[in-house]
Amino acid sequence: MSKSLKRVRAALEAAGLPIDIREVGQARTAQEAADSVGCHIDQIAKSIIFRAETSGDAVLFLTAGGNRVDAAKASNCAAEPLGKADAGLIRAQTGFAIGGVAPLGHLNPIRAWLDPRLLEFDTVWAAAGTPRHLFPMDPKILPNLANAQVSDFKT
């Protein structure tokens, strides 16, 4: 089991959540992830990471799988200009590779925002630390779990 997957498992356990991590094959896109677990694309909690230009830190936007993040709205949420985060920054801040960024279990704290569309479902699915693993959860606990502010940042 990868270190990333172990971190997510430990974070779920520490939060008192059921551990139902599923290996799904390749799920690098929200559509692939939705197809692999048989859910609507918007039930995938997609992790989009930007680089905060002032601080240089990574910032996380958890959005419904079918939505796109509007860079200007995201910058307003972060209260600073945002740019593209490279794989090195994402790995250093979160401990995860692109395609496997979970909403919890990060190596370092990260500022985060949550798409309100995710709260419309009974269950959402998120990456469990790798592009091949997903876990289901009640989205109503996601803002607290991810320390995320609910905000409208989609296009």
pLDDT in tens, 67-109: 999 999 999 999 999 999 999 999 999 999 999 999 999 999 9
Dist. CA 51–CA 83, nearest whole Å? 5
- At residue 13, the 3 state secondary structure works out as helix
Tell me if the pTM is above 0.85.
yes
Q: What is the pLDDT of residue 28?
A: 78
> For the residues 128-140, what does the mean pLDDT come to?
96
pLDDT in tens, 27-82: 879 999 999 999 999 999 999 999 999 999 999 999 999 999 999 999 999 999 99
Domain spans of the chain, in order of start: 3-150
Class of domain 3-150: alpha beta
Q: Inform me whether the pLDDT recorded for 114 exceeds 90.
A: yes
Confidence category of residue 26, pLDDT binned at 50, 70, 90: confident
Tokens of 24: 């799904």
More confident residue, 128 or 1: 128
Closest to 97 measured CA to CA, from 126, 65, 129: 129
Position of tokens 């395609």? 99
Q: Inform me whether the pLDDT recorded for 23 exceeds 90.
A: yes
Dist. CA 142–CA 136, nearest whole Å? 11
Closest to 76 measured CA to CA, from 155, 152, 143: 152
Confidence category of residue 1, pLDDT binned at 50, 70, 90: confident
Beta bridge partners, 22, equal 134
